[in-house]
Each structure stands twice: as structure tokens, then as C-alpha cells.
Structure 1
Amino acid sequence: MAAAPPAARRAGAAAGATDPQRTRACGARRTCPRRRPSRTISRLGAAVGSRPSTLTSVLDRLERRGHIVRAKQVGDRRSVRIELTESGRPAASRIRDTLAGLESRALNGLSAETVAGFRTVLDALGKEGP
């Protein structure tokens, strides 16, 4: 897997993610938390292509920095939902904006057909799992 672009590395580093985690996030940008206010660790891991056990250390760092909270899942004491905090929302927004800009520059000049084919390949790769 190629390294995350420099802008993604800087944005992700501010949020506590390692380079491989930022690279995966680049491919999972369409599943960002803005559209889903909270997720279980399993669903979040599936969205970014990471095992829940691997994601736990990233979530620990984000929690220490005050960007997320872990909340009990109503109706299932074993399950925990991850929610962005007030400080996490602007950090997530900066990362989203950075990734959107990177995506825009990467796809600039490509035909709609080429972009659609690229997205089809990414979706297929994402279905294969981490």
C-alpha cells in the first residue's frame, strides 16, 4: 500500500493516526463520521479497513486528545459506540477537507468514466477486507 500523501499525513498526525491508518482513511473518506454521528468499533473498523483490535490503539490516542468518547450502546452492554467530541468535530472536518482536496487534485483531468472505474475498483478492493 502506498504511503498517505503529505497533507493527509499532517492532518492525520494531528489526530493521532499512523501513516498506514491515514492511507486507509484516504480510501474510506466517503464513510466519514459526519454522516454518522456514532459507530461501533466493528463498523468503524470495517469502514476504514482495519481490525477492531488494531483500531483500539488509534481510538485510545484520539480519546486521550479529547477528540472522541466511548459511549455505552443502548440495549447491548458489550457494545461501545464511538462519538466525536466538540474538539473532534473540527479535527475531523479538517481531515475530511484535506482528503477531499487530495482526491480532487488526484482525479482532476480524468474523465467521469475513468473516475467511475476507479471507484468501482476501490469498492471491490474494500469488499475483500483488510
Structure 2
Amino acid sequence: MDMARHLRRVNGEMNALIHRFAGEHGLHATDVQALGAILDAREPLTPGRLGRHLGITSGSVTACLDRLEKAGHVRRVRDSADRRVVHLYYEPTARKVASDHFRFLARATQRALEGVGEEDASAALRFLDRLGREFSAGE
């Protein structure tokens, strides 16, 4: 199907962008996925929720967070009401680093949106939202 081919192409380009960012910052691709999850979360993530989201073990989450914290991208903060709970926060300085690297993506997205019109862009956004929800729902 043409749609699947286009999605694979976009996915490949996104993966290449992620791998370049990871390589430039001494991170793994999973670390960059973790950064995205922490940034996009509606409320602070815990390491357990991050691990479930990424499909990795608690040991892998710890290693990932150690690398991200060492690189200055995230910080772990204990909950004041329950010290056993740790919340993950994206560091403001990391936003600038990521924004600079992924600026190409933002510009490419803007150019693509300008080329299709508001109605088509809205349809594409609805499709991507639905596709994301289908992925999240699992098989």
C-alpha cells in the first residue's frame, strides 16, 4: 500500500535524525525516545511508566536515565509526599539543545503543512492521532 511505503520513509528519516542526535550527544536511540516521552508527557513521568512506555526493563530505564542525567538532559526529583516516588523532568537547557538539532524537522513540517492546505493538514493530523492510538492500544 502506498500509505505504508510513505510511513516507512518518514519513519526512516525520523530514525536517522534521532540516531544523529544520539550519536552527537553520546546517547542511545532509546535515550532520545525517552527524552521525547518525558517532554510529551502531560504530567511528570515516573521511571516505571517510562519503562512501560518504551518496553524496556527497570535496569535499562535506570541506565538510560543515568546517561540522560549525566548529559544534563533530565533530572530525577523525589515526590515530597512519597519519597519512594521519583518524577522525571526535562531540563530547560536540554530543550535548547534538542530544539537546535530538530529545527530541521520543525521547518520541514511547516513547509509540508503550507503545501497541503488547512483541510488536508487537519485530516493528516486526525489520521496520525488515530494511528498513534491504534499503536498504543496494541494488537
| TM-score, normalised via structure 1 length | 0.61
Say what the alpha-carbon RMSD is for the aligned residues: 3.8
Judging by fraction of residues, say which structure has more strand. 1
Does residue 124 in structure 1 map to residue 130 in structure 2? Answer: no
**Cα gap change, 1:91/1:71 in structure 2, threshold over 3 Å: closer, same or farther?**
same
CA radius of gyration, larger in: 2
Which structure has more relative contact order (CA 8 Å, sep 6+)? It is 1
Gaps of 5+ in 1: none
Size of the aligned set, in residue pairs, is 124
Contact 1:70/1:80, CA 8 A, preserved across alignment = yes
Alignment partner for residue 6 of structure 1, among 9, 16, 38?
16
**Cα gap change, 1:126/1:17 in structure 2, threshold over 3 Å: closer, same or farther?**
farther
Mapping for residues 1-130 of structure 1, pairs under 5 Å: 3=12, 4-19=14-29, 22=32, 24=33, 33=39, 38-46=44-52, 48-51=53-56, 53=58, 54-94=60-100, 97=103, 99-101=105-107, 109=116, 111=120, 112-128=122-138
**Cα gap change, 1:127/1:34 in structure 2, threshold over 3 Å: closer, same or farther?**
closer
The alpha carbon displacement at 1:113 in A equals 2.3
Cα distance between partner residues in 2 of 1:43 and 1:97: 28
Q: Which amino acid aligns with 1:91?
A: V
Cα distance between partner residues in 2 of 1:121 and 1:99: 20
The alpha carbon displacement at 1:17 in A equals 4.1
Cα distance between partner residues in 2 of 1:35 and 1:9: 22
Q: Which moved more, 1:89-98 or 1:62-71?
A: 89-98
Q: Which amino acid aligns with 1:55?
A: V
Contact 2:19/2:29, CA 8 A, preserved across alignment = yes
Report sequence identity in percent. 24
